[in-house]
Structure 1
Amino acid sequence: MPRLSQPRLPPRDRLLQAAETLFYQDGITRVTVDAIAEKAQSTKMTLYRHFASKEALVLEWIQLLVEDYSQVFDRLAERFPDDSAAQIMGFGRFLADNLTGTLQRGCPFTNTLAETTGQFAEVRALIFAHKQRQFQRLAALCRQAGAGEPEALAKEITLLLEGLQVVAQNGGFEDPAGFVLEQLAIKLDGLTAKNPR
């Protein structure tokens, strides 16, 4: 019996999916709208019908990534409602477990900032706002976990997690994920030891 083919995604979704793949592989500035349309099995005219410009397409992609990261925090809050340290550790594990794209290209937010200097102002503003919200969320979790200096700890954790993505990309040393998760656990274990539930 022949297999039924999977339903084809709508053109807008195919274009976004193609853009994401190409942006990860080749970077934003090198990828043309023609290449995106071709990969999506669509046309340039269709792309411009859904997105006013390449910048609008990049903005939509980044907005989807921001939502994905926010949902990770939300799911961790639901899973560990009374354990802020477990939420932080869970976010670290999420990044460590999703390094396959990072191994090729690095953090999509950081790469986008590096590639769009002097252009795509709205995209850059969205990334800055996302990174600041992420830091504030980590600082709030550190505060809830009983850290004496929650902002300082959130800065350390941010540098660990951002550094993880960079070293996974540049191969500076083996198993950066294992090292970062170990260091993160040490920091968080110190909190739970001082603040037993």
Structure 2
Amino acid sequence: MRGSHAAPRARILDAADTLFYERGVRSVSVEDVVGLAGTTRMTLYRHFTSKDDLVVQYLRARADRERAAVAGIVAGAAREEWDALLDLGAWIEDVVSADGFRGCPFLRAAAEFGDPGHPVRRLVAEHRAWYRERVARMVAAAGVRGPDAVADRLVLLRDGAMVGGALRDVGTVGALRPAFAAVLGTGGSLGTGG
């Protein structure tokens, strides 16, 4: 978390990120956030119109970091898109195996906000659509047949790894890179024949 000399908005977002991720959105009050940020309710509401707005901005910051990480993976594997996909699987494996991992912040937020029209759910849907489309483009560039179906399976593997990691069932996620390779190598059939 940033020090007390950071701008109030940044401190509030950092505090929200820590608390929302550790405890869940609904269980964290505005008072909890301003207490950790070392600021006041008035300052929070000067920067965010509501707690829901703060949640959306927290998730937007998380989405930006994830997009930057994926861009870095793609840039680092400039040799071939296939390598980038395998590296994506390895990166997800590292994320879900890390100390303090509590699950996908987007899936967790979606579970707390049931209304698909709520701004939080809309942001989650937007981010998931971006992720799936990005994976589909990577799959197509790698020359794998049926990129949409393969991307759907890779996203499903990612979601399963996120749940397994949150439950600390690291054994279920310890082979994500090979699982990505298997899906890519079979055109997405997951070895179900045909």
TM-score w.r.t. length of structure 1: 0.84
1:160 equivalent to 2:157? Answer yes
Q: Go from structure 1 to structure 2 and tell me whether the alpha carbon gap of 1:156 and 1:177 turns closer, same or farther (over 3 Å shift).
A: same
1:129 equivalent to 2:122? Answer no
Give the secondary structure class of the aligned counterpart of 1:95: helix
In structure 2, C-alpha distance between the alignment counterparts of 1:178 and 1:170, rounded to whole Å: 13
Taking the TM superposition and a 5 Å limit, the aligned residue runs for 1:76-91 are 76-91=73-88
- What residue number does 1:17 align with? 14
- What residue number does 2:190 align with? none
- The structure 2 residue matched to 1:180, chosen from 159, 176, 180, is 176
1:30 equivalent to 2:27? Answer yes
Q: Go from structure 1 to structure 2 and tell me whether the alpha carbon gap of 1:98 and 1:16 turns closer, same or farther (over 3 Å shift).
A: same
Moved more, 116-125 or 134-143: 116-125
- What residue number does 2:54 align with? 57
> Is contact 2:150–2:184 with CA below 8 Å preserved after alignment?
no
In structure 2, C-alpha distance between the alignment counterparts of 1:120 and 1:56, rounded to whole Å: 14
In structure 1, C-alpha distance between the alignment counterparts of 2:106 and 2:181, rounded to whole Å: 25
Q: Deviations over 1:56-103 (max 9, x none)?
A: 111111111111111122222322234111111222222221223773
Larger radius of gyration: 1
Q: How many residues align?
A: 184
Root mean square deviation of aligned Cα = 2.1
Structure 2 unmatched ranges of 5 or more: 188-194
- What residue number does 1:116 align with? 113
> Is contact 2:164–2:172 with CA below 8 Å preserved after alignment?
yes
> Is contact 1:85–1:145 with CA below 8 Å preserved after alignment?
yes
The residue identity in structure 1 corresponding to 2:130 is R
- What residue number does 1:194 align with? none
TM-score w.r.t. length of structure 2: 0.86
> Is contact 1:24–1:101 with CA below 8 Å preserved after alignment?
no
In structure 1, C-alpha distance between the alignment counterparts of 2:92 and 2:123, rounded to whole Å: 20
Q: Deviations over 1:12-39 (max 9, x none)?
A: 1111101011001110011000000001
> Is contact 1:102–1:165 with CA below 8 Å preserved after alignment?
no
Q: Go from structure 1 to structure 2 and tell me whether the alpha carbon gap of 1:101 and 1:28 turns closer, same or farther (over 3 Å shift).
A: farther
In structure 2, C-alpha distance between the alignment counterparts of 1:18 and 1:156, rounded to whole Å: 35
